[in-house]
Amino acid sequence: MSRAYDLILEAMRARRQVICTYKGLRREICPVVLGTSERREVMLAYQFGGRSSRPLAGPETRWRCLYLDEIADIVLRDGPWHAGNRHERSQSCVKQVDYDVNPESPLNPRYRL
């Protein structure tokens, strides 16, 4: 696993916010699902601040699929956790789910936090 994967997993375990750069934009996120897709490490995250190529208009528009090999400048920080506490919609971002912060995850993660 990459250093980015390890840091994101650490953030998920401790429910810490992540500040990072993705595709040149500074983002403030809470990672919710971590795993792989097409042999690349990927996460489904809830973006609550920073910049994005798409509007952060309402809660349903803040979900982001981020490939870890495109993330830079990862910093973990304390702060309120954003993302809700359950899955209400299916996701197609992470094909092989390794971890999910939701204890009642319907995604059948390979490992528990």
Q: How far apart are alpha carbons 47 and 27 in whole angstroms? A: 7
pLDDT digits (tens, 9 = 90+) for 58-79: 767 789 999 999 999 999 999 9
Beta carbons of 99 and 63 less than 8 angstroms apart: no
Pairing verdict, β 63-67 and 71-77: unpaired
Q: How far apart are CA 50 and CA 41, in angstroms?
A: 22
pLDDT at 60: 73
DSSP labels for 11-63? HHHHT-EEEEEETTEEEEEEEEEEEEETTEEEEEEEEEEE--SS---SGGG-E
Model pTM score: 0.91
Tokens of 61: 């528009």
Decide if pLDDT at 90 tops 70. Answer: no
More reliable by pLDDT, 83 or 66: 66
What's the pLDDT tens digit per position in 6-59? 999 999 999 999 999 999 999 999 999 999 999 999 999 999 999 988 877 776
Q: What is the pLDDT of residue 88?
A: 57
